[in-house]
Structure 1
Amino acid sequence: MEFGVSTFVTDDGIGPVALGRALEERGFSSLFLAEHTHIPAKRESPWPGGAELPRHYYRTYDPFVALSAAAAVTERLRLGTGIALVVQRDPIILAKEVASLDRVSGGRAVLGVGAGWNREEMRNHGTDPKTRMRLLRERVLAVKELWTKDQAEFHGEFVDFDPVFSYPKPVQEPHPPVMIGGSGPTTFDRVIEFGDGWMPIHGRGTADLAGQITGLRERAGRPVPVTLFAVVPKPEIIAELEAAGVDEVLFNLPTETEADTLRRLDSMAALL
């Protein structure tokens, strides 16, 4: 089992350069960054994590800018989104961003995707919350076409373009892995159809994790990789997740100052 962290990089916490260096120096395998383009002042959608939306949700860096900064000062650290809000992103631009990250990092990009929970936020991007799952599907499929075809085209309900040239292509073959976030009743349908792995949040719909992983792999007919993010760094939890068949654990890293973050990473690294 491999170990990384999932976190929010913001303008008032540790920067991506210092964080990337610190993770690689301590033997972590990956860094996954959350995304919110903005938070609407009028909030109606309930946050799945509780009543009060934490400060770091309001202040996130663009994940691809932050991951590129971390890529420049690391050699082995895999660099992922946890999660990229694909329903708020143009698929042609998204394909280029991830392919560019994959090239500047030497093939270390991972695209974790999801449809999001903040309906006000997605509406500001022109996305209808009622159709966001269908939109997510088409945009991911379109991105894969852009990554893998010399002349890519896509014709769907929401995404429609005639043959185009889109470069650079990713380093990884056939493309960077696409990890599907969530744990709802139709999540496994998406993993099987257009995902390369499953990446749920620990403790949200994962009560029978071992059974879920076994069922997913049996349905898919392949050893679907499973990455669990926002994991509390405790030995007993790690042992439980390993027994359940999890391939990678992402410890939840709070957004703190550089000094506090380094001290916390030292404690987490002792569990690797």
Structure 2
Amino acid sequence: MKVGVFYFPTDYGIDPGELGAALEARGFESLFVCEHTHIPVSRRSPFPGGGDLPKRYAHTHDPFVALAFAAAATKRLVLGTGVCLVPQRDPIVTAKSVASLDRLSGGRFEFGIGGGWNVEEMENHGARYDTRFKLMQERVLAMKALWTEEVAGFDGEFVKIEPSWLYPKPARKPHPPVLLGGETDHTLRRVVGFCDGWFPRAGAGFDPAVAVGRLRAAAEKAGRDPATLTTTVFRAPPEAGTLARYGAAGIDRVLLEVPDLDRDGILRRLDELAPLTRA
């Protein structure tokens, strides 16, 4: 099982390039970064975690820019979004960002995606909460066409692109893996319908064997080979015994949390977590 991390790439934390190099030197497999474009001060949407919204949500770098710095400072580290809020992003611009980062990094990018929870944030981008998942699906399908076809267009309810050239094409073939976040049965149907992997959170009561079984059952019901899908667990507990159970259950990757600290605090925490890469 692969062991990576996720991080909110804040302007007051560690430089993404230095973080990437530190992770690679300590044996971590991957770095996934979180995204929020902005946080409207109205705060109509309650924080799903309860209480006040943590400071880091309003201070993140653009994920593709942050990952580009990490890519330039590393050779092997897998680079991912965890998650990219696709309903808030133009699909043509995002397709080019994904392809450029994947190509320049030598095929090291994985595209973690999600629908988002902050209603006012997505509304500022012209997206609606009640149709965000259909919008997300159309944008992903349009991006797949742009990545894989020499002349690509798309004619959907929300996305319309006339036949076009878009280069560069990604280094990874046919394209970087698309990993969808969420835990519901609706999420699993979307995963097996148009994605390459599942990206659940390790919340209270998370059972890795049950999770792997749910994904396998959803794939078989849809007529898809379960072996074509991966499972990456977000915010896995940093405990060797628990991670051993995850690996034994068939989880492909776990992501441990890099905390919201300053540079020195983050590097100390990486030293503490590094033995788990060999657990």
Counterpart position of 2:196: 196
Counterpart position of 2:269: 264
Letter aligned with residue 230 of structure 1: R
Counterpart position of 2:14: 14
Are 1:239 and 2:238 counterparts? no
Aligned-partner Cα distance in 2 for 1:215–1:191:
12
Aligned-partner Cα distance in 2 for 1:229–1:222:
20
TM-score after normalising by structure 1: 0.97
Aligned-partner Cα distance in 2 for 1:200–1:270:
24
Aligned-partner Cα distance in 2 for 1:47–1:245:
32
Counterpart position of 1:59: 59
Larger displacement relative to structure 2 (122-131 or 254-263): 254-263
Aligned-partner Cα distance in 1 for 2:180–2:128:
20
Counterpart position of 2:158: 158
Are 1:174 and 2:174 counterparts? yes
Superposed CA RMSD in Å reads 1.1
Aligned-partner Cα distance in 1 for 2:22–2:207:
34
How many pairs align?
A: 271
1:194-226 deviation digits (Å, cap 9, x = unpaired): 10000111116x634322311312331322210
Deviation of the 1:15 alpha carbon: 0.9
1:167-198 deviation digits (Å, cap 9, x = unpaired): 00000011000001111230011101110000
Match of 1:222 among 222, 226, 232: 226
Deviation of the 1:5 alpha carbon: 0.2
Check the 8 A contact 2:208/2:245 in 1, yes or no.
Answer: no
Deviation of the 1:126 alpha carbon: 0.6
Check the 8 A contact 2:189/2:218 in 1, yes or no.
Answer: no
Check the 8 A contact 1:14/1:255 in 2, yes or no.
Answer: no
Listed as ranges, the gaps of 5+ residues in structure 1 are: none
Aligned-partner Cα distance in 1 for 2:151–2:61:
32
Counterpart position of 1:136: 136
Deviation of the 1:243 alpha carbon: 2.8
Deviation of the 1:258 alpha carbon: 1.4
Listed as ranges, the gaps of 5+ residues in structure 2 are: 220-224
Letter aligned with residue 36 of structure 1: H
Counterpart position of 2:148: 148
TM-score after normalising by structure 2: 0.94
Counterpart position of 1:83: 83
Aligned-partner Cα distance in 1 for 2:69–2:141:
27
Counterpart position of 1:124: 124
Are 1:104 and 2:109 counterparts? no
Counterpart position of 1:185: 185
Letter aligned with residue 14 of structure 2: I
Larger displacement relative to structure 2 (208-217 or 121-130): 208-217
Letter aligned with residue 228 of structure 1: V
Counterpart position of 2:222: none
1:9-53 deviation digits (Å, cap 9, x = unpaired): 111001101100000000111000000000010112122222211
Aligned-partner Cα distance in 1 for 2:235–2:157:
34
Q: Secondary structure at the match of 1:101?
A: helix
Letter aligned with residue 118 of structure 2: N
Deviation of the 1:245 alpha carbon: 1.8
Provide the identity percentage. Answer: 53
Larger displacement relative to structure 2 (210-219 or 184-193): 210-219
Q: Which runs of 4+ in 1 moved over 4 A?
A: none
Letter aligned with residue 45 of structure 1: S
